[in-house]
Chains A and B, each alone.
Chain A
Amino acid sequence: MSHVLIIDAANVVGSRPDGWWKDRAGAARRLHERLLVADTSYDEIVLVLVTYAAFLVFEDLIKLIWGVDPYFAYQPYELLGRVLIGGIGFAVYDVGLFGLAIVIGVAAWWALERTRSGKLLRAVIHDREISTAMGINVARMFTATFVIGAMLGALGGAITAPAISVVPGIGVDVIVLAFAVSVIGGLGSVAGAAVGALVVGLARACAVHFLPEVELFVIYAVMAVVLAFRPQGLFGRPAVRKI
């Protein structure tokens, strides 16, 4: 009984009012058939939906756990002090961030290009079906990649915390920045991500310094300009289909 109910609900959502309810068993069988034919492997759109839903949940969880008042974590700046490089004073923490970013970037590049797992991942990205046929556990690869991505995101947030006031909603702005960096740098390229981040960061800093009114625009303007001249991003590989 419960099985029939579930399939009925499945038939309703997203269905057409074409009279399928007159033959529910047949409709259930047809749905089953179509599912067999459909590519039931992992779909990127579902990931986007799930991530967005999770984002909504986390936003409120954060408010529940930590409240809405801002947190300040300036201690690392205080404790580490400043240093003079080339006559300009820098916070030691900021210099450390710079170094850490380089280390992580190199590690990411090395993992993708030089390790076996990295090669497997690139194979999966290139052609999911053939990878499965070769015995690569695609689902595990995607999960692992997602987890690593989430960890890097969390790490980014953690090390940025001392530099900003930590309030609910800081996650929202960084999403767009992250996508802008990826698009400018070109998808799938670590070097692209590095260059893209530098471009975006410098553009923002210049805007804030010279023309604060355009701070909101400048990233989008840069993105639009880059895409106009190199539609696949600075380091992206233009995909030419062989026919």
Chain B
Amino acid sequence: MRTPLSLAALLAALLVAGPLMPSWLVFLLTVAFAKGLVVLGLLVMMRAGLVSFGQGLYYGLGAYAAGLATNLLGVTDAIALVALGGVVSAASGYVLGFVMARYREIFFAMLSLALSMILYGILVRSAALGSTDGFNLPPPSFFGFAFDGQTSRLLVYALTTVVAIGSAMALHRFINSPAGVIGEAILTNEIRVEYLGTSVTGVLHLTYVIGATTAGVGGALIAIAAGHIDPDLAYWTTSGEFVFVAILSGIGHVAAPLLGTAVFEAVRSFAFQYSPYTWQMVVGISMLAVILFLPAGLWSLFARRYRAGGAA
């Protein structure tokens, strides 16, 4: 199969290029891939029809899990923190999935939003967690060693890139697995899937947990990369942004979310840098431009109806 090879090549290229890139680019890509993980999870979910406007819940859970582990338990190993973020969000996703897997379309979207906003409310009201200001994280360690600023940032970049592309490879396998393709079947004809003897809620539950886990891992990574967390990670506009980037990137290929998030973050950073008072407008106009002038290019949007058999 070609995709795992191309992704591996991409990973190698990104890792090699890391030390050669200016530090603003290293940071941009770290943030982009951390967020890209959330969008990757959305890709898997949206292919099965689950459009979640509440991924911020797991993004926030992962971030706060990492932050609290660092500040309360003294854990600074980056890999441990990322694993913790993943485990916490996977477990929460598993529990909440029993409820969430029973809803569809806008009801699923609103319920997911509601859950994330409940977390937001809790975080904001919690003075111990810094309320709206949140709190900072000390720099991470790797295998027991602490590194200076530049090296540390490169290592975080490397970790994020490995995790992001590794997840993309794993999820590429998922979307070509029975569970993945049955998820696509569920999107258009749930009843037929039930009549084939397979539990729809079972498959959707699994898909939901996958989305939750990648979002939690992304959250832990962003906490480490930014060195700061606050409740905005769980706010619905954060979740909404993930959905929009997912739609803009396309859900036809696992590389799309990573690429799309990188582009989106780049546009946003440059917009903010060069027109700090109108950066939102710049991003909005760019989005409109993509939507309106490259309609054939957003093929994966219209291609919800058909995706050719076989993986690339």
Q: Which residues of A contact B (CB under 8 A)?
A: 6-7, 9-18, 31, 34-35, 37-40, 43, 45-46, 48-50, 52-57, 59-61, 63-64, 172, 176, 179-180, 182-183, 187, 213-214, 216-217, 219-221, 223-224, 227-228, 231-233, 241, 243
Contacts and interface: CB of A to CB of B under 8 A. Distances in A.
Nearest to B279: A60
Contacts of A221: 114, 118
Contacts of B256: 14
Nearest to A223: B114
Nearest to A10: B296
Nearest to A214: B121
B284 A55 contact: yes
Interface string B123-147: 0110000000000000000000000
Contact of B298 (A7, A14, A37): A14
A99 B263 CA distance: 49
B244 A243 contact: no
Closest CB pairs A-B (n = 6) = A56-B284, A13-B297, A220-B114, A10-B296, A60-B281, A216-B121
Contacts of A233: 107
Contacts of B118: 217, 220-221
Interface residues of B, number: 55
Given A57-B285, A63-B277, A227-B103, A213 B125 contact: yes
Given A45-B301, A49-B287, A31 B124 contact: no
Contacts of A243: 191
B270 interface: no
A231 B299 CA distance: 33
A57 B296 contact: no
- The majority secondary structure among interface residues of chain B is helix
Nearest to A37: B306
B299 A14 contact: yes
Interface of B: 2, 6, 99, 102-103, 106-107, 110-111, 113-115, 117-118, 120-121, 124-125, 191, 236-237, 240, 244, 247-248, 250, 252-253, 256, 277-281, 283-285, 287-288, 290-291, 294-306, 312
Contact of B236 (A31, A37, A176, A213): A176
Contact of B296 (A7, A63, A231): A7
A220 B237 contact: no
A14 B252 contact: yes
